[in-house]
């Protein structure tokens, strides 16, 4: 039996102690780490998890904890903005514990394994692609070369691991290893701080939008059975007392009959009226009958990938969202009794200030309950990055969280113009679906900064 520590590292772009995200929002639950941990536990290993985003701790405290538990290996889940923190922690661990094995996975190291191993020589192994089976085999082989899906430092015999075919064969995420009740629905999700966990129904996406990294490791679409999804919801409700969930698929559902199937599966488990959830989808996949069934099953909010009303800007990224389709999707969801969250994007290649003004007017013309205006970013594994040989891994280490610069100011202006409308404020006050302290903090975030004296 091996002792393994898995770490969800913090990001410098979130600010000191991650306050950029924790002051108003809530960090999402790290489902990937929880699933890898479950697989390791299933294989008989001892696993601990440190989520340093939701529970920051000093480097000394972390090293002392490692010394106390006596772990054999430490693994990191690394997205671009967490690179620098990960490298520093790996250096510190290697300096103090020369025999502990260090490994990394997730989008950045998986997409650029040779670069990562070169930049972080303390890292022994990069997990390339899906990490569950590879991590278990790597631990059980004591980090020996030849493990499919594992690129070892200085070993040129790497071979990829075939993707998992049967998602139902995976165990449910090991949420018990995390402070799972601290993962709560953010105010934008229209929930009053209720504990919230994530569920994945599928891997992969049938589309290839240039801004999305969904297919960096999941090149083929695979789906869990509705029975498996319903069983996981039932387990979380029964064993963890969690009754609110996010379906974190990039598109949910992928099939028109899934709503009715999920309704009956939850009905069979006596969960109707006892659980609620949200999901994300494309505007051209909002099928009326499907979402009527999903609403009856517990769906209360749907994220809509709108991005921009300018079709010429989206076309270059292989995405289409005609205005008539967007309006139809929003109205269909409202008629079904489901609230809507519009996902917009600014800073698209070729975008002008005039385009952003048009986007703002368009967002306010829709009957959306909530909206966000993300800044276009390049992500490891996205088609836009893979097709551009001039992009280097170093260019992907900033997640565009900063609020300074032209786009940062435009983002804040768009948020103000959308949220500081009397009609929308009155609606949320009447519905009382956002906790007042969070609403107040969000309001303060939108106010213009006072001039320096």
Contact 373, 380 (CB under 8 A): no
Give the pLDDT of residue 215: 59
Contact 307, 375 (CB under 8 A): no
pLDDT above 60 (res 57): yes
CA atoms within 13 A on the CB side of 339: 18
pLDDT (average), residues 269-295 = 97
Give the pLDDT of residue 427: 76
Q: What is the 3-state secondary structure (H, E, C) of 161-198?
A: CCCCCCHHHCCCCCHHHCCHHHCECCHHHCCCCCECEE
Q: Which is more confident, 217 or 5?
A: 5
Give the pLDDT of residue 288: 97
Residues contacting residue 308 through CB under 8 Å, at least 6 positions apart: 314, 321, 344, 345, 348, 351, 355, 359
pLDDT (average), residues 145-160 = 92
Give the pLDDT of residue 17: 44
**Phi, psi (rounded to 5 degrees) for 401:** -85, -15
Give the pLDDT of residue 194: 83
Give the pLDDT of residue 23: 44
d(C-alpha 173, C-alpha 157), whole Å: 31
For strands 202-203 and 3-8, give the pairing: unpaired
- The mean pLDDT value of the chain amounts to 86
pLDDT band at 313 (very low <50, low <70, confident <90, very high): confident
**Could you tell me which of 262, 235, 268, 234 has the C-alpha nearest to residue 249?**
262
Element (H, E) at 133: helix 132-140
pLDDT band at 315 (very low <50, low <70, confident <90, very high): confident
pTM score, whole prediction:
0.88
Give the pLDDT of residue 186: 67
pLDDT band at 35 (very low <50, low <70, confident <90, very high): very high
d(C-alpha 340, C-alpha 337), whole Å: 10
Q: What is the DSSP letter of 53?
A: T
pLDDT (average), residues 377-392 = 68
In the chain, the percentage of residues whose pLDDT exceeds 90 is: 65
Give the pLDDT of residue 440: 53
d(C-alpha 282, C-alpha 350), whole Å: 23
Identify the weakest region by mean pLDDT among 63-67, 228-232, 267-271, 448-452. 448-452
pLDDT above 60 (res 443): no
Q: Taking the alpha carbons of 347, 351, 354, 357 in that order, is the dihedral positive or negative?
A: negative
d(C-alpha 315, C-alpha 6), whole Å: 40
For strands 101-105 and 299-307, give the pairing: unpaired
């Amino acid at each position: 039996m091996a002792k393994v520590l898995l770490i969800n590292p913090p990001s410098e772009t979130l600010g000191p102690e991650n306050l950029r995200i924790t002051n108003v929002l809530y960090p999402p639950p790290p489902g990937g780490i929880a699933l890898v941990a479950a697989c390791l536990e299933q294989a008989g290993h001892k696993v601990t998890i440190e989520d340093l985003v939701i529970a920051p701790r000093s480097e000394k405290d972390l090293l002392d904890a490692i010394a106390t538990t006596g772990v054999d290996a430490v693994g990191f889940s690394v997205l671009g903005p967490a690179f620098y923190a990960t490298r520093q922690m790996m250096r510190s661990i290697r300096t103090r514990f020369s025999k502990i094995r260090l490994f990394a996975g997730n989008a950045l190291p998986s997409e650029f394994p040779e670069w990562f191993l070169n930049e972080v020589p303390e890292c022994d192994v990069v997990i390339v692609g899906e990490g569950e089976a590879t991590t278990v085999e790597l631990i059980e082989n004591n980090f020996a070369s030849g493990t499919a899906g594992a690129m070892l430092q200085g070993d040129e015999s790497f071979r990829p691991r075939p993707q998992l075919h049967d998602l139902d064969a995976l165990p449910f995420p090991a949420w018990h290893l995390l402070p799972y009740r601290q993962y709560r629905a953010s105010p934008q999700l229209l929930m009053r701080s209720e504990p919230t966990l994530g569920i994945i129904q599928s891997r992969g996406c049938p589309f290839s939008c240039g801004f999305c990294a969904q297919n960096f490791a999941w090149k083929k679409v695979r789906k869990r059975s509705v029975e498996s999804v319903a069983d996981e919801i039932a387990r979380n409700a029964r064993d963890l007392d969690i009754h609110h969930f996010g379906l974190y698929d990039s598109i949910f559902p992928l099939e028109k009959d899934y709503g009715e199937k999920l309704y009956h599966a939850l009905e069979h488990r006596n969960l109707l009226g006892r659980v609620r959830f949200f999901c994300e989808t494309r505007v051209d996949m909002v099928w009326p009958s499907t979402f009527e069934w999903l609403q009856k099953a517990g769906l209360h909010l749907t994220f809509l990938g709108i991005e921009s009303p300018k079709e010429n800007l989206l076309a270059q990224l292989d995405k289409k969202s005609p205005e008539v389709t967007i309006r139809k999707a929003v109205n269909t969801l409202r008629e079904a009794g489901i609230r809507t969250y519009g996902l917009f994007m600014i800073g698209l290649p070729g975008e002008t200030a005039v385009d952003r003004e048009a986007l703002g007017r368009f967002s306010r013309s829709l009957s959306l309950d909530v909206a966000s205006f993300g800044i276009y970013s390049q992500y490891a594994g996205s088609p836009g990055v893979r097709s551009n040989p001039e992009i280097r891994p170093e260019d992907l280490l900033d997640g565009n969280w900063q609020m300074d610069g032209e786009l940062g100011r435009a983002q804040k202006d768009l948020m103000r113009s959308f949220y500081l409308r009397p009609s929308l404020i009155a609606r949320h006050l009447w519905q009382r679906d956002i906790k007042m302290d969070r609403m107040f903090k969000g309001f303060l975030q939108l106010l213009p900064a006072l001039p320096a004296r």
